Copies of this chain bind each other. A is one copy, B any other.
Amino acid sequence: MLSFAIIGAGRIGAVHARSVAAHPAARLALVADPDGEAAARIAGSVGSSGVRSTTDVADVFAATDVDAVIVGSPTRFHVPQIVAAVEAGKAVLTEKPVDLDLARVDECLAAVGDRADRVMVGFNRRFDPGFAEIARRVADGEIGALEQLTIISRDPAAAPAPYLVGSGGIFRDMTIHDFDMARFLLGEITEVSAVGQNLDPDIAAIGDFDAAVVTLRGANGGVATIINSRHCAAGYDQRLEAFGPLGSLEAANHTATAVRFNGRGVSGSSGPYLDFFLQRYEHAYSAELDHFITAIESGVAPSPSLRDGREALVLADAATVSATTGERVRLGAPVSA
């Protein structure tokens, strides 16, 4: 039984609280947030008695009944909280990105040192049953060596501008999931080329793109293409295709039910895609937590690691440079897993 504290009582903190409460080998002990009401609300929501809440994050690190910390605070707090939690002997599951500044991620890695094998980064999509199935089948050689990977990832609608201002830009905020997925399936990346689009003038005004296409070349000769947009009329568009000499594996979008309508002028019509990540990746969050618990309990390093978090940021930085300068970026040092 692993005892958890959650830092951050926002939307993602609530998701993790539910996952912890539902997991047979986990219990929730403490929720911390400067907004004490929000912390208390999540602490009280999970149906177990005895979950504490606090406005002082130091309580988390000091708590002797907390084995593991889920870091779901705003990004700028991730690094100090990861370091403090590790130094207090806790295992850590941190939301992505580790930080928006590569230098700070490297400081985090240095500070954590060998204890990085007790830290996991929440790239939840690796745990989506469909994507995980494709990763497994590719690894099993079903399609031969992965030659072309196509990731289509579109949000239903852009987040409000105030959120996007501090987001680090589309590549560090949104594409970062796809960069991790590209590394997950294709391995080491050597070259990044990105084209940004400014379709929404409000987003252009804050110096960010709202759509982009990124091409990544893998060290093994494969190429990944990522197609992003901040909006999608039909819902949260999350698809992936892995192509090799023996065939291809596609993960299609999800709809709420398998009902199809046929009528005047139309056939085979389904409902829209699931709305957003909480619905689409509901199972992924549970499976992610389960992996973390199993790894920590059995003393093996959970994955994706802090270093995976770093390498996704390296790709995001390179894409930012490429989209801005129009030049292809070759990664000087190999990106290792």
Chain A interface (Cβ within 8 Å of chain B)?
22, 24, 47-48, 129-130, 133-134, 137, 142-143, 147-148, 150, 152, 154, 191, 193, 195, 197-199, 211, 213, 215, 217, 221-223, 225, 227, 229, 231-235, 237, 243, 245-273, 326-328, 330
Contacts and interface: CB of A to CB of B under 8 A. Distances in A.
Given A217-B195, A272-B266, A142 B223 contact: no
A129 B259 CA distance: 9
Contacts of A211: 147-148, 223
A81 to B, nearest CB: 28
A130 to B, nearest CB: 4
A269 B271 contact: no
Given A233-B248, A267-B271, 17 more contacts: A133-B256, A137-B259, A147-B229, A148-B229, A150-B227, A195-B215, A199-B245, A231-B245, A233-B263, A237-B262, A247-B261, A249-B259, A249-B262, A262-B273, A266-B270, A268-B270, A327-B327
Given A199-B221, A258-B130, A233 B264 contact: yes
Contacts of A48: 47-48
Contacts of A198: 221
